[in-house]
Structure 1
Amino acid sequence: MEFRLLGPFEARHHGQLVELGSRRQERCILAVLLLDMGRLVSTGRLIELLWNGRPPTSARSAVHTYIGRLRASLAPYGARIRTSGDGYLVERDGHHVDVDEFSRLAYQASRATDPTARVRLVDQALALWRGPFLADTADGELRERLHGTLEELRLTGIELRAEAQLALGRHTSVINELPPLVARHPTREQLVAILMTGLYRGGRQADALQLYRSTRQALREDFGVEPGMRLREVHQRILRDDHPLDRPSRPVYEVRVRAESLPWSVGGHPALEFCNTFAGWGHEPPMPGAEWLREYRTLAVWTGHVGLVEDATVDLLIELARCDPDTATAVLDEARALRSRLYTCLTGPDDQQAFDAVARHAEAAAKTLVFRRDSNGCGRWSPNPTAGIRLPVHAAAWSAAELLADPRRLTIRVCPDEMCGWLFLDKAGLRRWCSLATCGQTAAAEAPCLTA
């Protein structure tokens, strides 16, 4: 079956519209299950969402009744709702949900390097939206609770598309399309920066500067912060008449080293930077911008950038990868697996399996270490370049072991912004977010910062 949630709820079988759920609550339950298709959704969560935290005493039996009716409606089309523990899940069985297709296309667009391909992919993704999310099914409060991540993904996709249009010289399209969206999201700095650039390229310097002033005022009034680095940079370049602002724009969370995109350094330790991404770890597929470790060259450059190896060694690693791309790909996969285990280990101290996995990498790295005199005259252990193409994995593992053995390990925190998840050290115990300028705007005002 094909299920459409990006607009009025629709279900189709072989292209034909199918009526499911005679009651709005039934369609709501099915929509929630489809958003997590193949994964268990507890009865408690269904009750909380369906009645907005104010359930009647008969809520549990009502959910059971709704599930029974849905099962009967879906059975002729081969769709099944399975009970598992105290919850339910819709089995995949080849069924399609437009939300999944939208997420897939948005993720592909984020990885596309050709601006024409990026515009095409984002257009395909946005074309799946037929109106407001679950327009005829969920009320405003429920819709807001369910589609926060989807709305963020949609906005990010629009930003990616607009940046690609600028790269293609289509600033007029940007000027025509973005103002209504900026008006609805006046503190979304990435969106504002793109529109300011478009206005400047269109000869509307005064309008671009006025947009900056109004955005700065909104940020100060709503959050008590100044504009972030990216927006300030665009503002300064407009003031300098830096025509035509033609350098490729970069997200505020990104740094560029040897033409490679690396994560913004906020963690305070190489092992934390190894884990850090922009979009966090809880989204499938990952949010656009989440994956910085795209190829072996990036891994090698990062290892030198954080000081785990010398620049000459980075040159050697890049050349080795060029000569042996298959081994480089295998090492990159190993590095990603280590990163995932390390993130789990740092955020879940009781996860023995994750710790053991990192420990095995660290033990292998220890066998390759050499003790050398540093440039400041001190001695230190460092990975031996004779380890060859696997050196970055050893370097990351050794750095991880060093952090796990350090008392600072107890001060690691996880940024609670649902779109982030960065790790950072906080000896004072006072920081709530990894960066007050970019995080914390989408989380509840009283959301606690988790201690890892």
Structure 2
Amino acid sequence: MEFLLLGAFEARQDGEPVELGSRRQERCILAVLLLDVGHLVSTDRLIDLLWNGDPPASARGAVHTYIGRLRASLGPYQVRITTRGDGYLVEPDGHRVDAVEFVQLVDRAAATTEPAERVRLLDRALALRRSPLLAGTADDVLRERLDGPLEERRLTGVELRAEARLALGQHTRVVTELTPVVGRHPTREHLVATLMTALYRGDRQADALRLYRRTRRTLVDYLGVEPGDRLREVHRRILRADHRLERTGRPVYEVRVRGVSLPWSVGGHPALEFCNTFAGWGHQPPMPGAEWLRGYRTLAVWTGHVGLADEVSVGRLLDLARRNPVGANAALDEARALRARLYACLTDPEDRRAFDAVARYAEEAAKTLVFRRDADGRGRWWPDLTAGLRLPVHAVAWSAAELLADPRRLTVRACPDERCGWLFLDESGLRRWCSLATCGRSATDAPCQGASAPSGRLAGWTQTR
């Protein structure tokens, strides 16, 4: 059987429409179950959604009655609603749900690195959205509560498709597609940065700069924050007529130092940057470019790029790595192990084992530090070259120790988007999304409350908001 939720609620069998449920509440319950097809939805959740937190005393009995009627009408079409504990689920059984297909297509597109294939998949996905979710069935309040994850994935799809079109040299089409979307989502920095790049490639530098100024005013006036690093970097490159913005086939967010790709600096502290990747930690399958720490050369260059080692040390490390690749790989593995422990420690303050592991790295690093005078006359601790290939590990461990001892540690947040997970400092308490707009949270989303990424299930996501 086929269920269409991305527009007017319809059910079809062999292409023919099927009438399901004479009451709006019945169709709404079925829609909630279908959005989470194959997963249990509690009765309390159904009651909360159906009556928006103000249920009558008879609500539980009414839900039971509605489920019974739905079973009767769906039975002839082999659609099973199963009771488990204090909840219900629709068994998948090969039935097609357009909302589920939409999510799967977007995720497949995110997992492919071939721009043309990504565009093809996203064209299919975005075409499934016919009109507002459950048009004519759900009221505005229920639709807003249910549509959050779908709308987020739709915008993700728009972003991914725009980037793929840029890689294919289709900047004119990107401008046409993104201009109205950015107008509706003016604080979504990922979209703005991509549109600015497309405008620049179309010889519309002035329009790109005007868009930046307008976006900055919006962010400052309504959210009290400046644009994130990515948007500022695109702005700087446009001002400098940077040739890197002209190149296709390479992400616009890429930072190139000494010939290697490094992630954007978004967290506000080197220890956070070390944990952050292009696309986050939690997404399965991993997003393209999710692992930035691919080789020891990248680790060494990054250590100098964020100021944890001087250029002389970086050059020495690169030379040592060329002469001792086995030792370099061992140091890289150690750095990755530290990164995993540090991420766990920063995202879960109660994880004592992770904290103790980072502490051991920091204690070892402290034995190799030297106190030197900087060019500006101030003194600072530097990892000594006697550490050899392990110098970057010591540098990161010491930086992590400084952060963990800093009151700002309490302001570390993790972007809650399931495909992100970037860490950042939120000293103002106003930040509501990843500052780089890797995922691009909207201004109306709930603030980040920690590191737990939401479930990938559709209806389940709304429970965490």
For normalisation by structure 1, the TM-score amounts to 0.71
Q: List runs of 5+ in structure 2 lacking aligned partners.
A: 374-380, 453-465
Does the CA-based 8 Å contact 2:270-2:396 persist in structure 1?
no
- Note the alpha carbon deviations across 1:252-302, whole angstroms, 9 max, x for none: 6x64454335353516354x445435766677777x67x6227844x8734
Supply the AA of the counterpart residue of 2:57: T
Q: How does 1:342-421 map to 2 (within 5 A)?
A: 343=343, 346-350=346-350, 407=405, 411-415=409-413, 417-419=415-417, 421=421
User: Which residue is equivalent to 1:211?
Assistant: 211
2-structure distance, mates of 1:186, 1:371: 49
User: Which residue is equivalent to 2:461?
Assistant: none
User: Which residue is equivalent to 1:113?
Assistant: 113
User: Which residue is equivalent to 2:290?
Assistant: 292
Supply the AA of the counterpart residue of 2:298: V
2-structure distance, mates of 1:379, 1:395: 10
Supply the AA of the counterpart residue of 1:52: N
SS in 2 for 1:118: helix
Q: CA RMSD in A?
A: 5.1
Deviation at 1:384, TM superposition (A): 8.7
- Note the alpha carbon deviations across 1:133-176, whole angstroms, 9 max, x for none: 22233222222222222222222222222233233232332233
1-structure distance, mates of 2:93, 2:226: 50
Alpha-carbon distance change, 276 to 134 in structure 1, aligned in 2, over 3 angstroms: farther
Does the CA-based 8 Å contact 1:225-1:437 persist in structure 2?
no
Deviation at 1:128, TM superposition (A): 2.5
2-structure distance, mates of 1:381, 1:411: 26
Out of 187-196 and 354-363, give the one that drifted further.
Answer: 354-363
Q: How does 1:247-258 map to 2 (within 5 A)?
A: 247=247, 250=251, 255-257=255-257, 258=259
1-structure distance, mates of 2:415, 2:358: 30
User: Which residue is equivalent to 1:31?
Assistant: 31
Alpha-carbon distance change, 49 to 385 in structure 1, aligned in 2, over 3 angstroms: farther
User: Which residue is equivalent to 2:59?
Assistant: 59
2-structure distance, mates of 1:166, 1:18: 43
User: Which residue is equivalent to 2:267?
Assistant: 266
User: Which residue is equivalent to 2:165?
Assistant: 165
Deviation at 1:441, TM superposition (A): 5.9
1-structure distance, mates of 2:139, 2:242: 47
Alpha-carbon distance change, 128 to 359 in structure 1, aligned in 2, over 3 angstroms: farther
Alpha-carbon distance change, 44 to 29 in structure 1, aligned in 2, over 3 angstroms: same
2-structure distance, mates of 1:15, 1:345: 53
Does the CA-based 8 Å contact 1:300-1:317 persist in structure 2?
yes
2-structure distance, mates of 1:73, 1:34: 15
Higher relative contact order (CA 8 A, sep 6+): 2
1-structure distance, mates of 2:221, 2:409: 32
SS in 2 for 1:292: coil
Does the CA-based 8 Å contact 1:422-1:434 persist in structure 2?
no
2-structure distance, mates of 1:384, 1:149: 47
SS in 2 for 1:147: helix
SS in 2 for 1:178: helix
Does residue 45 of the first structure (1) align with residue 45 of the second (2)? Answer: yes
| Percent pairwise identity | 53
2-structure distance, mates of 1:432, 1:234: 24
User: Which residue is equivalent to 1:143?
Assistant: 143
- Note the alpha carbon deviations across 1:351-376, whole angstroms, 9 max, x for none: xxx7668979999x99x999757696
User: Which residue is equivalent to 1:9?
Assistant: 9
Deviation at 1:437, TM superposition (A): 5.1
Supply the AA of the counterpart residue of 2:153: L
User: Which residue is equivalent to 2:459?
Assistant: none
2-structure distance, mates of 1:304, 1:274: 12
- Note the alpha carbon deviations across 1:193-250, whole angstroms, 9 max, x for none: 3333333443444444443443333333322344444444444555555679404574
Alpha-carbon distance change, 283 to 313 in structure 1, aligned in 2, over 3 angstroms: same
User: Which residue is equivalent to 2:455?
Assistant: none
Q: How does 1:184-203 map to 2 (within 5 A)?
A: 184-203=184-203
Does the CA-based 8 Å contact 2:412-2:423 persist in structure 1?
yes
2-structure distance, mates of 1:437, 1:62: 44
Alpha-carbon distance change, 184 to 449 in structure 1, aligned in 2, over 3 angstroms: same
2-structure distance, mates of 1:59, 1:80: 22
SS in 2 for 1:3: strand
Does residue 125 of the first structure (1) align with residue 125 of the second (2)? Answer: yes
User: Which residue is equivalent to 2:298?
Assistant: 301
Q: List runs of 5+ in structure 1 lacking aligned partners.
A: none
Supply the AA of the counterpart residue of 1:264: S
Does the CA-based 8 Å contact 1:277-1:422 persist in structure 2?
yes
Alpha-carbon distance change, 197 to 285 in structure 1, aligned in 2, over 3 angstroms: same
Alpha-carbon distance change, 278 to 222 in structure 1, aligned in 2, over 3 angstroms: farther
Supply the AA of the counterpart residue of 1:184: R
2-structure distance, mates of 1:8, 1:274: 46
Does the CA-based 8 Å contact 1:424-1:434 persist in structure 2?
no
